[in-house]
Amino acid sequence: MSTTEVTTEENAKGAPQRPWRDRKRYLWPLATVMPAMPFLGAGLVSATGWAGWWWVGPMILFVILPGLDLVFGATDDNPPESERERLEADRYYRWVTYLFLPIQYASLVFCCWVWATWDLPWYSQLGLALTMGVVSGVAINTAHELGHKREDVERWLSKIALASSAYGHFYVEHNRGHHVRVATPEDPASSRLGEGFWTFLPRTVWGSLRSSWHLETKRRSKGSHTPFDHEILIAWAMTVVLFVALTVAFGPVVLPWLVLQAVVGFSLLEVVNYLEHYGLKRAKREDGRYERTDPRHSWNADHTVSNLLLYQLQRHSDHHANPLRRYQTLRHFEESPQLPSGYGSMIVVALFPPIWRAMMDRKVLAHYDGDVTLANIHPRKRERYLTRYART
C-alpha cells in the first residue's frame, strides 16, 4: 500500500493530524545578527586588516540583504489560522525578540569603548557610528514588535529598546496615533503620492513628536496621574540617563557619536515608514469616518531573508489589519499591494525621489485601477497628479 493510501485511510478513520510545523522556527534567531554588527565589524577588521568593515551595518542592510533577498526570493506561505493560538503561546518566539536587547546594549557599550580608546581615523569612527545607527534603527523595529503586546514586561522592553535612538515617543505615537490614522492625510507617518522622502522626513519627525505629546496630554487629562507616569518624559529620561552614563564612563568624546547614531536610527525608522504606506489612502464612509484598516492599506514585501531578520515587519499589511498578531503568525494577502523588493533595496531607492516616483507612482495608480483620486496625494502636487492621470 502506498504512503498516500495509508495517509488517506488514516484520515478517513479520523486519525489525529500532525500539527503544522514552522519550517523557519530555528532560523528566527538569525535576527540577532543585526544587533551584533559592531562586534562583527570589529572582528572582520581584526581578521583582514581592512578598515572598511567598520561600515558593516550599511553593507549588510543595503548590499548583502538585498542580494540575499534576490537569491532566496519571496514566500507567500501562511501558518494555518488553526495554529495561531499555539504559535503565539510558544514562548520560544518571545525569547527570540528578548535576546535582541542585551546584544543591542552590549554593542552600544562596545562602540563607546572603541570611540574612546581606539586610535581610529575619523572615517572608521564614522563607519562604526553608522553601523550602530543601523542597530538602533532595527531596535526600533524590535520595540515595535514588543510594544503592541499586552504583557507589561514586553511593553517595558519596548521602551528600553527605544532609548538608544532617543525616540521613546514612538511608543505613544505609533500605538495610539499611527494605527488610528494610518493611510489618511492626517497621519504624519503615512507618506503621500508625489511626496519625496526628504520632504517627508521633517514632516513626520515633527508631526509624530507633536502628535505623541498631544495624545499623552489627552490621556493624562482623564483621571489622576503623577509626574512619574508621563510615558514620553519617562522615555526621554531613559535616553538622557543612558547617554549621561556612557559619557561619564567613557568621556565626552563619545557624545557626538551617540547623537549621530541616534539620528541615523530614527531616520532609518522614518524611511521605512515612508515605504510602508506611500500613496495609500483609506476611503471615507458616509458618516465621514474612515473605513477600517485592512490589508490593502500597507505595502507588503514577502522577501524571505529580510523578514527573518526583521521579525516579518515587511508583512505590514496583516500587522495593520491585526496589530496584536505576533510576528510568527503574520500572513500574506493577495490583495495587499507589493513592493518591488525588500526594505533594504527600497530604502536606497527612496533616498532618490525621482527614481522612487518613477518606480512607485505607477504601482500606486495600478493599485487604484487608474483612479488617482483614490490615492493620498501630496497637497502641493495634487493638481499636477490630477491633470497628469485624469481619466478620459
Q: Report yes or no on 14 lying in a domain.
A: no
Q: What are phi and psi of 235, to 5 degrees?
A: -65, -45
Can you give the pLDDT at residue 12? Answer: 43
In the chain, the percentage of residues whose pLDDT exceeds 70 is 95
End-to-end CA distance of the chain: 65
- The total of other beta-carbon atoms located within 10 Å of residue 342's CB is 25
- The total of other beta-carbon atoms located within 10 Å of residue 23's CB is 9
Q: Report yes or no on 10 lying in a domain.
A: no
How far from chain centre, in Å, is Cα 275?
10
Overall average pLDDT of the 11-25 stretch: 67
DSSP single-letter state for residue 303: B
Picking from 41-45, 220-224, 234-238, 368-372, which range would have the lowest pLDDT averaged per residue? 220-224
Q: Report yes or no on 362 lying in a domain.
A: yes
CA dihedral 251, 257, 259, 261 (to 10 degrees): -140
CA 244 – CA 183 distance, rounded (Å): 38
Overall average pLDDT of the 279-284 stretch: 96
Can you give the pLDDT at residue 223? Answer: 80
Overall average pLDDT of the 112-141 stretch: 97
Q: Which residues contact 81 (CB under 8 A, 6 or more apart)?
A: none
β-bridge mates for residue 193, sequence order:
377
Q: Report yes or no on 377 lying in a domain.
A: yes
Overall average pLDDT of the 72-87 stretch: 90
Q: Report yes or no on 349 lying in a domain.
A: yes
Q: Report yes or no on 342 lying in a domain.
A: yes
Can you give the pLDDT at residue 85? Answer: 93
CA 156 – CA 25 distance, rounded (Å): 25
**CA nearest to 149, candidates 326, 293, 314:** 326
Dig out the grid coordinates for 340 from the structure. Answer: 518591488
Can you give the pLDDT at residue 222? Answer: 87
Asked whether the predicted pLDDT for residue 46 surpasses 80, the reply is yes
Asked whether the predicted pLDDT for residue 349 surpasses 90, the reply is yes
Residue with cell 494577502: 333
Can you give the pLDDT at residue 8? Answer: 38
CA 320 – CA 71 distance, rounded (Å): 28
Angle between the 197-220 and 231-250 helix axes, to the nearest 10 degrees?
A: 120
Return the H-helix or E-strand segment holding 211.
Answer: helix 197-220
Asked whether the predicted pLDDT for residue 150 surpasses 90, the reply is no
Q: Report yes or no on 59 lying in a domain.
A: yes
Can you give the pLDDT at residue 312? Answer: 93
Asked whether the predicted pLDDT for residue 303 surpasses 60, the reply is yes
Asked whether the predicted pLDDT for residue 6 surpasses 50, the reply is no
In the chain, the percentage of residues whose pLDDT exceeds 90 is 87
CA 318 – CA 334 distance, rounded (Å): 11
Overall average pLDDT of the 157-176 stretch: 96
306-323 pLDDT, tens digit each: 999 999 999 999 999 999
CA 73 – CA 305 distance, rounded (Å): 8
Overall average pLDDT of the 227-232 stretch: 87
Can you give the pLDDT at residue 4? Answer: 37
Residue with cell 527600497: 346
Asked whether the predicted pLDDT for residue 131 surpasses 50, the reply is yes
Contact 278, 377 (CB under 8 A): no
pLDDT band at residue 18 using 50, 70 and 90 as cut-offs? low
**Angle formed at CA 327 by CA 35 and CA 282, multiple of 5 degrees:** 115
Asked whether the predicted pLDDT for residue 101 surpasses 50, the reply is yes
Picking from 12-16, 169-173, 290-294, which range would have the lowest pLDDT averaged per residue? 12-16
pLDDT band at residue 21 using 50, 70 and 90 as cut-offs? confident
Burial of 363 from C-beta contacts in 10 A (0-12 / 13-18 / 19+): middle
Contact 317, 334 (CB under 8 A): no
How far from chain centre, in Å, is Cα 331?
16
Q: What are phi and psi of 74, to 5 degrees?
A: -110, 160
Residue with cell 498578531: 325
Q: Which residue has the higher pLDDT, 235 or 5?
A: 235
**CA nearest to 278, candidates 212, 333, 200:** 200
- The total of other beta-carbon atoms located within 10 Å of residue 41's CB is 27
Can you give the pLDDT at residue 16? Answer: 52
What's the structural domain count of the chain?
Answer: 1
CA 90 – CA 21 distance, rounded (Å): 12
188-229 pLDDT, tens digit each: 999 999 999 999 999 999 999 999 999 999 999 888 788 778
Domain extent at residue 333: 28-389
Q: Which residues contact 326 (CB under 8 A, 6 or more apart)?
A: 87, 88, 93, 94, 145, 149
CA dihedral 218, 298, 165, 378 (to 10 degrees): -80
- The total of other beta-carbon atoms located within 10 Å of residue 32's CB is 16
pLDDT band at residue 162 using 50, 70 and 90 as cut-offs? very high
DSSP single-letter state for residue 35: T
Q: Report yes or no on 46 lying in a domain.
A: yes
Q: Which residue has the higher pLDDT, 82 or 110?
A: 110
